[in-house]
Amino acid sequence: MNLLGAAIDATINWHSVMFYVTSLIACGFALVVLLTNNIVRMAFALIVSLSAISGLLFLAGAYFVGTMQLMIYVGGTVVLLIFGVMLTAQKAFITMRTSAGDWLLGLLVGGTFLAVLVQLAFSIPQWESSSYQAKSDQELTAYVAELEQEIQSGKTLSQDQRQKLVQLEVEATQGEPQRTGEIGLALVGLRPDKDPQQSEGLSGYLLPFEIVSVHLLVVLVGAAYLARARRQQG
Amino acid sequence: MQFLYEPIGLSHFLAVGAFLFVVGIICMATKRNALGILMGIELVLNGAILNFVGFASPYFREDNLGLDGHLIALFVIVLAAAEAAVALAIALNFYNNHATIDVDKAQELKG
């Protein structure tokens, strides 16, 4: 009995395990992108790395951003890059070697930068661990205890109480709800997640959304103009 | 194996983001192929997205960025797509005119 209790107490945190696996894939294939000289291999490693990063976004609860990462980055941008690779993949350009001096300088600067950044990331104690699961579990058990007391004293559960129980259960087992609808509303200038009394002035993202849209259009026209086939002179 | 039993925090996320960022920077600095440099830029932007989403995640912090972080990450993704399209067009144009994509050979504007 005691052993079973200990086994349940020290369960593996699968969220952490998934995080370590996906981040290992993402970092490993990013390293492959850096270290290989073959441009075709680089493109392939980039696809795997970006897919793993979208997995990391899912693990952080950003479902919509993760999906967009898969669709736009992996499905669009990288395909574009691969087309570029295929169009320029002459023998001399598939493998281009870097001089040792460049490597030395790059690794020196990059290594220093990495050391500083990682130390910075771990320098704040509140960031090192998450209390989300423990807190939501605690809230759930506290509310269940409260409801049980009410039932024992002869009351019946109201609709609101049932709803709150379901919501707490979802929060404890599945995490934060999806925000797709909220993101869509924020892009047209509404913020349903904020108290309208609290937020002053413009809180939505209508203007940046418009700017990005026009920017994308201009960029596509520009890209088509730049990449068009040259008309023969004379 | 104690770390498998503990929940991860924001620091781990930021560390992964920092690693991708630095790998992208080194990639940009050392590759001679113009497309390799583009891939480095993609890695840098992904590190940034990861940081934004990490700060926006309710799993890690009580007072998170929330929706703002997600939206900024989305804008970064869209701008990265646009940037890749234009940079690729320029690289292809350069390749058509000079029959090379070695950035060390791109010296026409050099004084």
CATH number, domain of B77, equals 1.10.287.3510
The pLDDT of residue B111 is 54
Phi-psi region of A61 (alpha: psi -120 to 50; beta: other; left: phi over 0): left
Q: Tens digit of pLDDT for each residue in A144-202? A: 888 888 888 888 878 888 888 888 888 777 776 677 888 888 888 888 777 767 766 55
Contact between B12 and B29 (Cβ < 8 Å): no
Cβ of residue B24 closer than 8 Å to a chain A Cβ: yes
Distance, CA of B86 to CA of B80 (rounded, Å): 10
Q: Tens digit of pLDDT for each residue in B19-69? A: 999 999 999 999 888 899 999 999 999 999 999 999 988 888 877 787 888
- Ranking A18-32, A36-50, B95-109 by mean pLDDT, the lowest is B95-109
The pLDDT of residue A5 is 47
Per-residue pLDDT band at B79 (split at 50, 70, 90): very high
The number of folded domains in chain B is: 1
Is residue B89 in a domain? yes
Residue of chain A nearest B16, judged by CA positions: A23
Which of B6, B40, B88 faces A84 most closely, judged by CB atoms? Answer: B88
Is residue B29 in a domain? yes
Is residue B3 in a domain? no
| CB contact residues (below 8 A), chain B span 34-53, against chain A | 35-36, 38-40, 42-43, 46, 49-50, 53
Is residue B79 in a domain? yes
Which of A62, A85, A225 faces B56 most closely, judged by CB atoms? Answer: A62
Q: Does the pLDDT of residue B110 top 70, yes or no?
A: no
Q: Mean pLDDT highest for which of A121-125, A153-157, A223-227?
A: A121-125
Q: How far is A148 from chain B (nearest CA, A)?
A: 28
At the top level of CATH, the class of A11-93 is: mainly alpha
**Which chain A residues have a beta carbon less than 8 Å from that of B55?**
none
The pLDDT of residue A230 is 67
Per-residue pLDDT band at A1 (split at 50, 70, 90): very low
The pLDDT of residue B62 is 78
A202 or A38, higher pLDDT: A38
Domain extent at residue B76: 10-103
Name the CA dihedral angle for B63, B64, B67, B73, rounded to a multiple of 10 degrees: 160
**Which chain A residues have a beta carbon less than 8 Å from that of B2?**
none
Q: Number of Cβ pairs closer than 8 Å across A and B?
A: 271
The pLDDT of residue A200 is 62
Whether residues A34 and B26 touch (CB distance < 8 A) is answered with yes
Residue of chain A nearest B100, judged by CA positions: A93
Which of B58, B70, B91 faces A64 most closely, judged by CB atoms? Answer: B70
Cβ of residue B15 closer than 8 Å to a chain A Cβ: yes
B4 or A225, higher pLDDT: A225
Is residue B2 in a domain? no
